[in-house]
Amino acid sequence: MRRMSPLLWIAALCVAIILICAAFGETVAPQSPDTQRLLVGDTRPSAEFLAGTDNLGRDVLSRTIVGARTAILGPTVIALGAFAIATLLGLVAGYFGGRIDGAIMRTVDVILALPGPLIAIVVVGVTGGGYWTAVGVLTLLFVAPDTRIVRSAVLAQRSQPYIEACRIQNIPRHRILFVHILPNVLPLILSYVVLDFAFALVNLAGLSFLGLGVEPGTADWGRMLFENRQILFTNPASVLLPAATIVVTAGAINMLGDHFRERTAP
């Protein structure tokens, strides 16, 4: 059995810290993330404010810690929702084939041909933005590539001897799909759920940076990049800290997803 490398352990530690911040943000934050200190304004890191303050005098470190909640919640919903839909579509398309497969995959091809980030920007912008609107749009956009992955895994299983044995015994097709095929493709599905999470994290942060994600004033990494870009040279930590958190979180989760996929690959 392959052991995890030290780099993977570091990645796992980073993810664990982010999860703790997401679950207990207000408790572990050194200051209140929403308290405004207009007389203080934006300041550089100090003993009182370890990452300085933003232009409204809010503690940057506390807002980064509390912002882990929106950074984790949205991508989790996107990754799980996309693969719940994609798993059902991929199972049906891969097992039944024929016209059903053709209809599903042509729809998938159309979605894949569209510029996903641009579609998300247009839809969220036209509908007035909002965090959950962005989550819903990204979930639908993530369904298309995930459906192809599940379908290819089901096609590989459909010709296996155990499936032929199930057909000979006249086992119902829904039971073959969900009791016999699904458990065999589930490890692959779960590994891509992790990778989807990393991509969704970056996409949501990008929408928030454009002002199309969370509401103004919300502690969110992408929103912090947007709000603090004007004080980059006054307090670089106000921009570099949330940016580094996005990169480290997405990279760590991506590494763990790749490792899980390699461990579960046949």
Q: Which domains does the chain have, with CATH numbers?
A: 6-18+52-264 (1.10.3720.10)
Q: Average pLDDT of each block of 10 consecutive residues along the chain (266 residues)? A: 76 92 90 87 88 90 92 92 92 88 90 83 81 88 90 86 84 84 85 87 88 82 90 90 93 86 69
User: What is the rounded CA–CA span in Å between residue 56 and residue 67?
Assistant: 17
pLDDT computed for residue 211 by the predictor: 81
- Read off the pTM: 0.86
pLDDT computed for residue 2 by the predictor: 57
pLDDT computed for residue 17 by the predictor: 93
Token pair 């999860």: residue: 19
User: What is the rounded CA–CA span in Å between residue 107 and residue 89?
Assistant: 11
Best CA proximity match to 244, nearest among 8, 75, 60, 82:
60
pLDDT computed for residue 97 by the predictor: 83
User: What is the rounded CA–CA span in Å between residue 63 and residue 155?
Assistant: 47
pLDDT computed for residue 166 by the predictor: 83
pLDDT computed for residue 1 by the predictor: 45
